[in-house]
Structure 1
Amino acid sequence: MPMHPIEHDRRYGELDQVVRAYAGQPADDSEDKLSVALTAYLRHTWHTRPSALATAERQLREYSLHPPGRLRLRLGEFYPIPDTGLPEHAIQNWLRTLADHIKRSIEAGEVPPPSVPLTHWEWHARFPEAAQFLGGWFSQDMPDEFADHDAAVADYTATTDLQLAARLAGELHELLALNLDESDYALALAELGMEVDPPAPYSPSGWLARVAERLGDGRFRADYGQSRFDG
């Protein structure tokens, strides 16, 4: 009988996050080397959900010690490890290696420093609302759906909860704070799902700044009341 979502998350939810971090990345961890994917997972999780690391370590180790048989996988009773490029006989040892690295990181307090995202997973984990915005409103179908880029931005602001729009504005400012070259901003936009070029005459970073400005244009005002210095 297939697992219910709550059972899946309780037993495999954080393991799934670790494995998803390897999408498009080699699973080349060893006893004395962390892969780019695991480094990205550790960096993001340390800075956003540090308590989840212990759960990841436990779930990885338990799965490596008690891997499901093919029948139970076929019945949907266990989490199937996605293809990592490793042969089947190497999966258990790889999972134990990941658990060991995470345990060492927790016990030694080894936190990867802030950095530009290194993987597709890390871009989306760090900038989730930007990925929703760019992938949803600026896919290759955008020219058929909207008159121009401004119309697409206007549609997003009109149809999206104000709190999510505020989150997007914050993510765009954080993205700009990476201080990348324009070619790297173009790559970042592509990683986050944008499939059309920014409108002329804007560079990628210039357009991001323009969108962030539009999102906050009079929408997030605070009422400070009457100052005690007012007449």
Structure 2
Amino acid sequence: MSMKPMEFDRRYGELDQVISAYVGQPADDTPEAPGTALTAYLRHTWHTRPWALAVAEQQLRTYAQNPPGRLRQRLGEYYPVPDIGLPEDGIRDWLLLLADHIRRSIEEGRVPPPAAVPATHWEWHARFPELGQLLGGWFSQDMPDEFEDHEAAVGDYAETVHPALVARVVGELGELLALGLEEVDHALGVAELGMEVDPPAPYTAGAWLTEVARQLAGPRAEYA
């Protein structure tokens, strides 16, 4: 029988956050320094949920020291580490290496400085979660079949999503635009956050995000 969500989170919730940070990234950590993915996890977590770092260190170490048997994996009672390009017999040492880096970061106060541009797919979504919901949910490749245009899609989001979430995405748009990114980074960002269609002509990605923020911050119909 698979674990219930509360039990999963208690045992593996933060471990899963760490492993998810490696989606599309190599496990390039060395004993001397954390790799790109772990650095992104450390940077975001230090600045948003610093208390979770100790939980991550403990869950990583416990998992590495108590590897799952095949029966427990088949019953869904254990967290299966996704394929990250390492041989199976190297997973345990890698998990312990991550735990060591996190412990060292905590004990020595090694806080990665804020980055203007998120370094990984995971970091884009961790930093701008509601914007990812908007771009990935309303601007997939099916958007032209579902809405008349980009403005209609934004309007549908504003009318069907709770006002608190609309306000949150406006805040995330403000944070992203305040970074003063180059246009190539805006284009990278909307793609990483799930947008599968081009901005409407003649807008660049950054200019269109500015227009979306303006549209969402204005008066809107009552939430249904």
The residue aligned with 1:55 is: 55
Distance in 1 between the 2:13 and 2:188 partners? 30
Give unpaired runs (5+ residues) of structure 1: 220-231
Quick check: 1:117 aligned with 2:128?
no
CA offset digits 1:101-132 (Å, max 9, x no partner): 00000111111111111110110111010000
Alpha-carbon distance in 2 for matches of 1:190, 1:8: 31
The alpha carbon displacement at 1:10 in A equals 0.5
Query: Equivalent residue for 1:207?
Result: 208
Task: Provide the secondary structure at the position in 2 that maps to 1:215.
Answer: helix
CA shift at 1:152, angstroms?
0.6
Q: Using the TM superposition, give the Cα deviation of residue 77 of structure 1 relative to its aligned residue in structure 2, in angstroms.
A: 1.6
Aligned to 1:187: 188
Q: Any gaps of 5 or more consecutive residues in structure 2?
A: none
- Give SS of 1:202's match: coil
In structure 1, distance between residues paired with 2:211 and 2:122: 26
Equivalent position amino acid for 1:173 in 2: G
- In the other structure, the counterpart of 1:226 is none
Q: What's the CA shift string for 1:135-188, capped at 9, x where partnerless?
A: 111111111111111111111111111110000001011111221211221111
Structure 1 residue matching 2:29: 3-state secondary structure: coil
CA RMSD, 1 decimal: 1.0
TM-score by length of 2: 0.95
Q: Which residue of 1 aligns with 2:166?
A: 165
**Partner Cα separation in structure 2 for residue 142 and residue 77 of structure 1:** 39
Counterpart residue number, 2:157? 156
- TM-score calculated relative to the size of structure 1: 0.92
Aligned match of 1:225: none
Moved more, 68-77 or 58-67: 68-77
Distance, in Å, in 2 between the alignment partners of 1:110 and 1:206 is 36
Q: Does 1:87 align with 2:87?
A: yes
Deviation for aligned residue 1:44: 0.7
Q: Give the ranges of 4+ consecutive aligned residues of structure 1 lying more than 6 Å apart after TM superposition.
A: none
Q: Name the aligned partner's letter for residue 129 of structure 1.
A: E
For residue 40 of structure 2, what is the aligned residue in structure 1? Answer: 40
**Aligned equivalents of 1:73 and 1:4: distance in 2?**
15
Question: How far is the alpha carbon of 1:218 from its aligned partner?
Answer: 4.0
1:19 is aligned to 2:19: yes
Distance 1:127 1:35 in 2: 22
User: Residue type matched to 2:172 in 1?
Assistant: E
Three-state SS of the structure 2 residue aligned to 1:195 is: coil
Query: 2:177 is matched with which residue?
Result: 176
Q: Give 1 or 2 for the bigger CA radius of gyration.
A: 1
Q: Could you tell me which residue of structure 2 aligns to residue 30 of structure 1? A: 30
Q: 2:4, 2:140 → 1: CA distance?
A: 33
In structure 2, the partner of 1:216 is 217
- 1:78: Cα distance to partner? 1.0
Paired letter, 1:82: P
Equivalent residue pairs, number: 219
Q: Identity of paired residues, percent?
A: 68
Q: Which position in structure 1 is the counterpart of 2:131?
A: 130
Partner residue, 2:142:
141
